[in-house]
Structure 1
Amino acid sequence: SLFSSSGLNTSTRVCTSYPSHCSDLSDTNTPLPVLSRNRGILQQSCDSGISSPLPSDSCKYLTWRDLEGHDVRGSQIRCPRVRAGKSENLLKVLLNLNLSFQDLGDPYQLENFNKILWRLIRVERLWLVDNSLTDLSAIRLPRCTELNVNKNHFTSFKQLPKIPQIQHLSLTENNIETLNGISFLRHTPLESLILKRNPCEFQENYRQL
């Protein structure tokens, strides 16, 4: 990086090596960072609007070799909301779990969220409300009897996880337009199915179907 005598960064890029880990500032309105001579870390030159900056704020423009002494690893630099999850052994014995409102805005977060779901082999009651989920067909929840996936983006029953023991399934406020694929529920002990505020409600003979 090139710094003027006043401490301002005069280059359009923060670093010149390892381009895959550098932030290109030339096409954004992000204020250029200022090098603090006292602390030796990068700080924003103006208020970003966040009252309490995240812990990774001080190193989000740094390359890997400059991250000594920080707890931030991997893609977490670009996903500061990612937190350490429960251990794999604990996930395997959980019976009731609420993973709603996770704000999965980055592919890295969604990928790891799915890895967590894969481990829930004993969960019986699971809430996944408002997670912007679109397809969980690769997930299997063999013991799940109650699943709440309200306020997601499912468009078909075929996108739901495999839930052979399901008894109560809630799909309120998704985008399911037809009842195609609902036949897989015939072989389950289903007692209640909630489809409020889905487009399929306007289908003729919806209740009978």
Structure 2
Amino acid sequence: EKRLNSLSNSSGQNTSSQICPSSSSYYSDPNESHAWSALSRNRTLHPRLDSGISSLLPSDSFKYLTWHEVEQDIRGSQLRCPRVREGPSTEELLFRQEECTWPAQKRVLEKNKWETWLQENWEDCTNLNLSFQDLGNPYQVANFHRILRRLIRVETLWLVDNSLVDLSAIRLPRCRVLNMNKNHLTSFKQLPKIPQIQHLSLAENHIESLTGLSSLWSTPLESLTLKRNPCEFHQNYRKRVFSCLPNLKMLDGILKLPEDSSPPETNIFSKICIVS
């Protein structure tokens, strides 16, 4: 203001209009100067929108919406100011229970994984035969154990000839019939936890001792098969098995006999073999 006043005082004229270049410096033609001033007045009286278009477009109502909130189809020519907007994060979408925005390949993988999970449906399986699986790779064994851990409702399970060694970490809470013939078990301690077992077959394994058989004492076990195991050749084999499992009704396909109920003989002379 002081400079403007000084200029006005020194020249005797008001030179405040000189703060911007005069129209005469750019337009020598008076007609062009008049048109420029008219255009300036029009801009002042009728301000444009932020895109420079004076009329509203169909997309004006979506001006402040992010891309994932636009429900109607809008063409690019309808947009007043096309721009790239950052979408919500994956965590936010999951929190909102909206459609996932992962890349197409990842979505396909997740979909296939979910479909496989539904197709397996191991939790609802009640009767299952997984025999002769030829488990020769550690990955196969680990995946096999994963499936067994999901069998929470299975009642009849066949695991014949699978080279199984130890299933002590597996629990089958409802299993009543279990067939593990032709595997590599060496002890009853390697059996899965089977509190409801009624029929158990362990033929053609490598069980040498009856130690650990008492772990099945609290179960409702009715029949047991131990054919072709080294323990079958122990002295008083049947009596020892029935003494550990008093509720057992059948051993190796033979019903419990009266002599199976008598305690094992402890007479020292019964162990002496006489050759004449």
SS at match of 1:109: helix
State the shift of 1:89 in Å: 6.7
Mapping of residues 1-209 of structure 1, within 5 Å = 87=118, 90-209=121-240
Instruction: Report % sequence identity.
Output: 70
Q: d(CA) in 2 for partners of 1:150 and 1:165? A: 19
Partner amino acid, structure 1, of 2:213: I
Question: 1:151-201: CA deviations, max 9, x gaps?
Answer: 000000000000000000000000000100001111000000000000001
TM-score (norm 2): 0.44
Stretch of structure 1 that moved more, 173-182 or 87-96: 87-96
2:246 match = none
Q: d(CA) in 2 for partners of 1:115 and 1:162? A: 15
Q: d(CA) in 1 for partners of 2:165 and 2:119? A: 24
Whether the 8 Å CA contact 1:145–1:166 is kept in 2: the answer is yes
Q: d(CA) in 2 for partners of 1:85 and 1:148? A: 27
Whether the 8 Å CA contact 1:166–1:188 is kept in 2: the answer is yes
Question: 1:138-163: CA deviations, max 9, x gaps?
Answer: 00000000000000000000000000
C-alpha distance 153-86 of structure 1, shift in aligned 2 (>3 A): farther
State the shift of 1:90 in Å: 1.4
Whether the 8 Å CA contact 1:148–1:171 is kept in 2: the answer is yes
Question: 1:55-98: CA deviations, max 9, x gaps?
Answer: xxxxxxxxxxxxxxxxxx9xxxxxxxxxx976487100110000
Q: d(CA) in 1 for partners of 2:142 and 2:167? A: 11
Gaps spanning 5+ residues in structure 2: where? 1-108, 110-114, 241-276
- State the number of aligned residues: 127
Partner amino acid, structure 2, of 1:102: Q
Q: d(CA) in 2 for partners of 1:94 and 1:115? A: 14
C-alpha distance 117-202 of structure 1, shift in aligned 2 (>3 A): same
TM-score (norm 1): 0.58
C-alpha distance 86-206 of structure 1, shift in aligned 2 (>3 A): farther
C-alpha distance 93-176 of structure 1, shift in aligned 2 (>3 A): same
Gaps spanning 5+ residues in structure 1: where? 1-72, 74-83
